[in-house]
Structures are given as C-alpha cells and as structure tokens.
Homo-oligomer: A and B are copies of this chain.
C-alpha cells in the first residue's frame, strides 16, 4: 500500500532530522509526551511562560498545543506561541482535551481555533464532533454534532478549519477534508493508561516537524501510536498488567521501524 511506504519515509525523516518539538501541554502527561518524542526520534521542548514561548517556537520545527490542564496563564502563552508559529510558517498541532465537558474548555477551544491556524487537530470522537459543531455553528449551521458519522464530522472540521483532522478511536480517522485515511491499529488496553491521546498528538507533532505533508504526518503519528500499543500488549504475560504495558509502549515506539510498519500497519484509504 502506497501510503504505508510514505509513512516509512516519514519515520526515516524524523530519525535523520531529529525535529525540535515545542509543547505547551498539561502537567499530567507532560513527561510521557517528552519521552515519546525522544523515543520516536525527535527532541522535546516544554516551556509555557509567556515571556519564553516565542523564543522556543523560533527554534522549534513544530508547536503542539494541548489544553488538558489549561489555565489563564498558559492559554495566553498558547495564543502567543501559536501566532508566532503561524507567522514563521511552522506547523501547529492542537489537542482539544476535554472540549465539550464545560464552557471554559469550549470557549478556550473556540478562541484558539479563531486565533491560530492549525496544521492538525487531534482528538477523540466526542471532541472532534463537538469542535465540528462549533466550526459549523460559526457559519450558522449546527447539525453536524448530532450526526452519527464520525467521518463526516472530521471532514467537516478539516474543511472548515483548513487543516487535517485526526480522530483516534477503535478505527482512527485522518482527513484533510478531501482525502480520508482509516487506521485499524491499536488495542483496547491503550486507554487503560493516561496520556495515550496526548502522546499520539505529540507523535503527530514530531512528524509534522519533519515532513511538510501534514496529512501524512498525522497518519504516521497516529498509526505509530496504535502499532506500538499492539506490539506492547503482545509482550504481556502472566501477572503483567498496565504498568508493564506502559513501559513496553515506550520500548515499542523506540524500536518501531519501517519493516514493522510495512508488515503490521493497517491503513485503508477511504
């Protein structure tokens, strides 16, 4: 399959270029995000002070904004950093953690979508459905959020926001509004640890820092996470559980290579 070969090339580029990825993220999974970026071949910067973020964006290849434990201080930094990245034509990846769960998160996501041009938005289905409704709502339509079809919600969000939408779930959906790619990698144990969503976003950011095709970057990042989850789960034996799984997940990301991607990647172009 053609797309998988491109994913393999994307992985090679990350290993060669070692992209610097600036993250303004939550304090729950920040360590996991830094370690997953290192494991795949990038270099993380975690900095969120408003006086610091523009300088960090200037040296980074990509900016990742994750609103997991958002607060007024860091939201201001996100906006400043995002605008700077847009100005410098560097990709910005957005993880709208928990959008839909309450007005502060919703307003913040709306603000970020208005102020910053994103390369990729990565969320779960309910987050993307919510944002999709938001996006449409601003154009006077508000029906998409009620639709069952996740693909339609993702396509709508991608088209409205002129970005790539990446929805992770049982089957992951990646779309730029036109092309749609479905990924069947992953394992039900993955949501049993915190941070797998944030880590998928961090991986997407790392690939965006190395390849200019963000549809490909999102696909490779999301598939890498799912694939690593499968490989890690397969090693579990006896009384091993979620703690061992979590450790092996990092092993699997670290060991992930083109051969495994070719053999085990399950990507369909819709």
Contacts and interface: CB of A to CB of B under 8 A. Distances in A.
Interface stretch (A41-49, A127-135, A140-148, A154-162): A41-49
A250 interface: yes
B49 A70 contact: yes
Interface residues of A, number: 56
A213 to B, nearest CB: 27
A41 to B, nearest CB: 10
Interface in A52-90: 52, 55-56, 58-59, 68-73
A150 B71 CA distance: 40
Interface stretch (A170-178, A189-197, A262-270): A189-197
18 contacts: A27-B30, A28-B34, A29-B31, A39-B243, A46-B69, A47-B98, A49-B70, A49-B104, A52-B102, A55-B102, A239-B251, A239-B255, A241-B250, A243-B248, A243-B251, A244-B248, A244-B251, A246-B247
Interface in A211-270: 235, 239-244, 246-255
Contacts of A235: 239
Contact of A52 (B29, B48, B70): B70
Contact of A55 (B103, B193, B243): B103
Contacts of A56: 101-102
B104 A194 contact: no
B72 A49 contact: yes
A244 B242 contact: no
A7 B250 CA distance: 33
Given A31-B195, A71-B73, A241-B250, 16 more contacts: A26-B46, A27-B46, A28-B31, A28-B46, A38-B192, A45-B101, A46-B68, A47-B98, A49-B69, A49-B71, A49-B104, A242-B250, A242-B251, A243-B248, A243-B249, A243-B251
Interface string A172-210: 000000000000000000001111000000000000000
A105 interface: yes
A51 B104 contact: yes
Interface string A2-42: 00000000000000000000000011111110110011000
